[in-house]
Structure 1
Amino acid sequence: MQLLAPIGLLLTLAGLFGLGWCIWRGFQIRRSALPPQEIHAALHRLIALNLGSVAAAALGLGLLVVGLML
């Protein structure tokens, strides 16, 4: 039970890092000189990573709260 809080913290930080990376990568893609179809495809692939990062951060936050309550 004592490991829930540190694991939750690490998972939350990993999710937040992933969100920051998605934002940074999205700006890079939008600034690139690619054709609009390729930009759209690259941003579409980035959505999956973004949703995974949000899920990891939410799960980590939940684990952190449960670990602190116990």
Structure 2
Amino acid sequence: MFEVITWGGAALSLAGLLGLVWCILRVMKARRSGLSDDELRAVVQGVLPWNLAALFLSVIGLMVVIVGISFG
């Protein structure tokens, strides 16, 4: 049973990592497009909640992995 928890936590962590990569790519694309400072700031402010959610998901996934390993 704890093996399932461990692999589930790894999947959560991987999903969070993919979300972080998406955020990085989105901001890099906006920077390369030559937007003005205000437009770039708006893009970054729009990506920020997604970035924090992806980071939170990754941290929760790693905690679940640790719990699965500890109890398994």
Q: TM above 0.5, one fold?
A: yes
How far apart are the structure 1 equivalents of 2:65 and 2:7? 7
Q: What TM-score comes out, normalization by structure 2 length? A: 0.89
Residue equivalent to 1:27: 28
How far apart are the structure 2 equivalents of 1:12 and 1:39? 29
Alignment of 1:8-23 (within 5 A): 8-23=9-24
Aligned length: 70
Q: What TM-score comes out, normalization by structure 1 length? A: 0.91
Q: Structure 2: where are the runs of 5+ without partners?
A: none
How far apart are the structure 2 equivalents of 1:63 and 1:8? 5
When the two chains are superposed, the root-mean-square deviation of aligned CA atoms in Å is 1.1
Residue equivalent to 1:65: 66
Superposed structure 1 runs of 4+ greater than 6 Å apart: none
**% identical aligned pairs:** 36
